[in-house]
Amino acid sequence: MIAHLRGQIFSKTPASVILDCGGVGYELFISVATYTELGDAGALASLHVHTHVREDALQLFGFKELAEKRLFEKLLTISGIGPKLAITVLSGISAERLVAAIRGGDHATLTKIPGIGKKTAERVVLELKDKLEDMAGFAPADEPAKPSLGAVAEDVLSALLNLGYPRPVAQKAVETAAKDKEAGSDFEKLFRAAMAAVR
């Protein structure tokens, strides 16, 4: 099961990207949000991956943010929503607005998303409304969002979360490490400093 890929962007469109990882090109379906965060061809990219296996196909879906991947996987638990529709949903509305609409039971916003009708919108709210408390990266509706740590720090935070550290512990370690101005813009230095802080 492929869970993460890091490599050079061979080519990209708003719907997919081909990552060259050690000479092997992986095609990943992506949302518009992930597309806008990726660099141009030739740039390095790091994506969280959902591997979808069917009898007749193996498809990879890539996400710049781990929270977007987790929201995608929650959408897949709903009857009638497959991976193609789930990625279309995430392209039609920002993940933050989607979470807010589900939590608030906002059917009108949900039905504006391509592919989501009234019945599907009702099902999404019914099945996911109480299952979004653990959505890392999104503040609850009554809680202000924390300021972004910056792109490099967010990558380090994502790496620590992938290693199994609890989010509060990882976030504190990254914030502590980011105070060192020299490490702040270098992934490896910041990662080492964060690992030292976590211990």
- Per-residue pLDDT tens for 30-48? 998 899 899 999 999 999 9
CA distance 5 to 26: 9
Q: Where are the domains of the chain?
A: 4-63, 66-128, 151-198
Percent of the chain whose pLDDT exceeds 90: 39
Q: What is the pLDDT of residues 56-72, one digit of tens each?
A: 889 999 999 888 999 99
73 compared with 173, residue with greater pLDDT: 73
Work out the pLDDT band at 182, boundaries 50, 70, 90: low
pLDDT in tens, 101-156: 898 898 988 998 888 889 999 999 999 988 887 664 554 444 444 445 677 787 88
Whole-number pLDDT of residue 42: 94
Burial class from Cβ neighbours inside 10 Å (0-12, 13-18, 19+) for residue 97 reads: middle
Class of domain 4-63: mainly beta
Per-residue confidence (pLDDT) for residue 136, from 0 to 100:
45
177-185 long-range contacts (CB < 8 A, ≥24 apart) are 177/153, 178/149, 178/150, 178/153, 184/150, 184/152, 184/153, 185/152
What does pLDDT average to over the chain?
84
Q: What is the band of 175 on the pLDDT scale with cuts at 50, 70, 90?
A: confident
As beta bridge partners, residue 11 has: 18
- pLDDT for 49 beyond 90: yes
The residue to which tokens 């929503």 are assigned: 81
Let me know if the fold of 4-63 is the same as that of 66-128. Answer: no
The whole-model pTM stands at 0.65
pLDDT of residue 141: 43
Of the two residues 84 and 194, the one the predictor is more confident about is 84
Question: Do the Cβ atoms of 27 and 6 come closer than 8 Å?
Answer: no
Domain 66-128 is found in CATH 2.40.420.20: no
